[in-house]
Structure 1
Amino acid sequence: MRVDAFDFDLPNARIALRPSRPRDAARMLVVERGAMADRGVRDLPSLLRAGDCLVFNDTRVIPAQLEGRRGVRQDDAQSASGARIGATLHKRIDLRRWQAFIRNAKRLRVGETVEFASGVTALAEERLADGSFILAFGGDEPVELLLERAGTMPLPPYIAGKRPTDEADRSDYQTMFAREDGAVAAPTAALHFTPDLLAALDAAGVKRETLTLHVGAGTFLPVKADDTDDHVMHAEWGRIDADTAVRLNAVRASGGRIIAVGTTSLRLLESAAREDNIIAPFAGDTSIFITPGYRFRAIDGLMTNFHLPKSTLFMLVSALMGLETMQAAYAHAIESEYRFYSYGDASLLLP
């Protein structure tokens, strides 16, 4: 399909720069079989049925945004220019190596080091075909500790371009389910959940499960192709263990619905689903790209925030609900002054 078909005009005033407080005070647009209703996140227990299951992503965002200067080549005794280099970690390769998107990448060559804050250094080990680099971090300390010293929370560019990252973002940009280090972007639909909301869902008989998908910085990359067939998704690592898969399949077998909380949970569930709609255990990379015409096999609904024009995520929700339905829903959300993107309001999509 033409990427332009997924475009829409979004006023800058609709982009949320801070989350709702408390988190579950956010608004929620419910779209079900083409009908729309303005509700709130706190209404979720009354909108689901006993036996339904919400599936959360338990990945934890690490401080993966780094600022530094180019150092010296390992095979060169002369100092390099000291050009400013920005790095956003995208995907772990091994214990010390990460794939990273580099700002000012033209000034960085393979074999050079980048000197970040607090004495943290990384070697530009390899440049990949997409322009990203493999960075190998120096020293003996775990990379996670180095990032805690030198890194900042990697806020999405549509927020970071409007205000600096601050201490509040360390907690605001982390879900209550976060426990598995490795994401460089939050599974933002789950940011709306609080202990009180979970208690209300428990009382309503709604089940919950968790999986892990380490969200990469590729989620923010624009679609540069003119046609969706020409866009290449970045891979992200995920896991669904065998016991979780068994419980999820039991939900459907007993008549319950699987509701993914966030597009990250949805993408991993669909990656793990077999042709017969059974969810299998999964551990590995997924680069699944969901566009209209896709047959969903694992999920029966989605809770998600409002996404960017021409983004892979708006394509995903259009695949689930239909492009015309989502165009109408987003037009309504804009007119009704819903708050968009990572810190914004929610939608509940029930096809």
Structure 2
Amino acid sequence: MPGPTQTDATNALDADQLDALVTAAIEAFAAADSVAALKEARLAHAGDRSPLALANRQIGGLPPEQRKEAGSRVGQARNRVRQALEARDAEISAAELDRRLAEERVDVTLPTELGPLGAVHPVTALMEKMSDVFLAMGWEIAEGPELEAEWLNFDALNFIPDHPARTMQDTLFIEPPEHNLLLRTHTSPVQVRSLLDRDLPVYVVCPGKVYRADEYDATHLPVFHQIEGLAVDRGISFGHLKGTLEHFARAMFGDDTRFRWRPSYFPFTEPSAEVDLLCFVCKGSSVGDPEHPCRTCRSEGWIEWGGCGVVNPRVLEAGGVDSSEYSGFAFGMGIDRTLMFRNGAEDMRDMIEGDVRFSRSLVGGAR
């Protein structure tokens, strides 16, 4: 419907004329059947050049005693037009929304092809399971940077300056050498950081990624994962270490797990020991039986799991702990190696190839 012309607004201040303008506007809004049509009607009847807008401008030319009454009439008329416009805009918007929903409806019952699902990496899943064992005992999880200071990685752990582990054959140093930075070779620096940052007593377990200049083969990776633990408190002994690791091992390998403790040497513990587990494949029966060799334990009957010991007093002193009052124990195990033991993974290289079938075959790395 065409809008009123500017000529119609000549006597627009008259009450009857204002009513006519309002009626025309309402009829134009009602006739609009789309957002675009409503926009045109709005410009014609409520825009800056509409008759009502022009009538509003005429108020200034009236005698002062007539302006108040005329302004009230024009304001009421424009308010009625605005309300009618808003109501019609809501109706048209709702109708167009219903139309779009009907046109764009998706039949969710139609069959569809789902993309292949991924899987949690077995190493990640096992790392979380190991951490949960210690969280259940009241320990804390501690983390630290993978780019580490040489002092924290070696000196604070009682490695002598010419220790073989410091050489380029074992350690990946970062240039320039005078900055004394390296990719951590174990997660033990996190233990030192925990002693420096936390109040005693300290019970922390430190899972994470470590780096060494190792060969890339079925049993070695230059980047692998460790979990290390540290307990420092009054009265800590080797017996506490033994009980803790036996509980940990049974949580990983089952209640019937058998252990063997062998004397060993580590710069950061004294005394030190290696923990061996009875081969869970042959149960030791392959020892001395050439006709039935065991590939898992190489017919030795035992599998080396990790190292441990009572914390060397020098390490405690480096961490700001009074070794005459406090003692502690520490241990470390390879997470990748534990995964091989638990799930029968034969080649460590499979763990970093990124093949999701490997992760699925191990069911997330946790039985």
**TM value normalised by structure 2:** 0.20
Structure number with the higher helix fraction is 2
Structure number with the higher strand fraction is 1
- Which has the greater radius of gyration? 2
Greater relative contact order (CA < 8 Å, ≥ 6 in sequence): 1
